Amino acid sequence: MITRPLKDVAAWVAYFDQADIPVLTRTQTALVQFKDNEDNLNGRELADAIMHDPLMTLRVLRYLHTHRSKRQAMEITTIAHALMMLGTTPFFRHFARLPSIESTLKDHPDALLGVMHSMSRARHAALYAQDWAMLRHDMESDEVVIAALLRDLAEILMWCFAPEPMLKIRALMQANPRLRSSDVQKHVLGFRGQELQLALAEHWHLPKLLQLLMDEEHANQPRSKNVALACRLARHSANNWFDAALPDDYKEIGQLLNLREEEVHERIQRIALQAAKSWTWYGVAPAAAWLPLLPTLS
């Protein structure tokens, strides 16, 4: 467990590259249940379970890269396709024993709460991105979903392996909510989380398309804009539904989807309620818990 920031992004990449990345206990349980019923396995249901967990999603994509054939020219950008390529029996064999986030952070309850909030927020972002991609008739909506799910991957990993710096970042943000998270990250870590995020994605050879969709520098492109807005909405609404940044989010979402403001609100409320159904994966209150307090979304 790291108690103080390493010297630079490269040092963090090297550290995480050697780390045995944990997954949710709920993910472990789900994999056992799917394996026990392997003869009647529904691949789509397995993929959906994996995509509740950003770190399990990461592990699958990394494993696929290291085991892909040299003759395989096209990159696999979705979990469903990855499972088809790997085969279910080899998949279950490789991922039979995984460390859990809950065990990793058993002596760090504040950090465990922090990572669960981050993972819940990632799930919210993924569902927003999925809904908007389908509305835009995106033929590969799962690519957008995974990009949104993994866009704050660096933050989630930091909570797991470097809780002290993350707790400091959280304390500074709570003391002054007007601060930009990227500025606070720069102050505490010496770099923005997005820098580490992209460095890890490149080092682990995540599909180039996913790297593009996760990169805020390409947020002017519609699919990347979808991902960026979904993550922004999830982050701001996780604070509360009165967050000062939300009106701008609603406006940009409406422009992206060509929807009126009330239509934007209706879709957001519906997806927030859908995301809330997954709260038991993370054990923290979902953003939808505060929807009744907001008249414009009722």
Same domain, 275 and 154: yes
pLDDT of residue 297: 45
Is 127 contained in some domain? yes
Question: Is 294 inside a domain boundary?
Answer: no
Q: Clarify whether residues 110 and 81 are in a common domain.
A: no
Whole-number pLDDT of residue 289: 83
Co-location of 106 and 90 in the same domain: no
Based on the domain organization, do 112 and 226 belong to the same domain?
Answer: yes
Mark the ranges of the chain whose per-residue pLDDT is less than 50. 295, 297-298
Q: Is residue 84 part of a domain?
A: yes
pLDDT value at residue 71: 64
Cα 19 to Cα 1: distance, rounded to the nearest angstrom = 10
Angle between helix 109-135 and helix 222-239 axes, rounded to 10 deg:
140
Instruction: Flag whether the pTM goes above 0.85.
Output: yes
Q: Are 41 and 50 in contact (CB under 8 A)?
A: no
Per-residue pLDDT tens over the stretch 183-232: 999 999 999 999 999 999 999 999 999 999 999 888 889 999 999 999 99
SS3 184: helix
Residue 213's nearest CA partner among 132, 108, 96 is 132
Contact 259, 229 (CB under 8 A): no
Is 111 in the same domain as 244? yes
- The reply to whether 127 and 252 lie within a common domain is yes
Tell me: do 157 and 87 sit in the same domain. no
Residue 72's domain comprises 21-98
Query: In the structure encoding, which two tokens stand for residue 226, read together?
Result: 């979808």
Quick: pLDDT tens for 125-150. 999 999 999 999 998 899 999 999 99
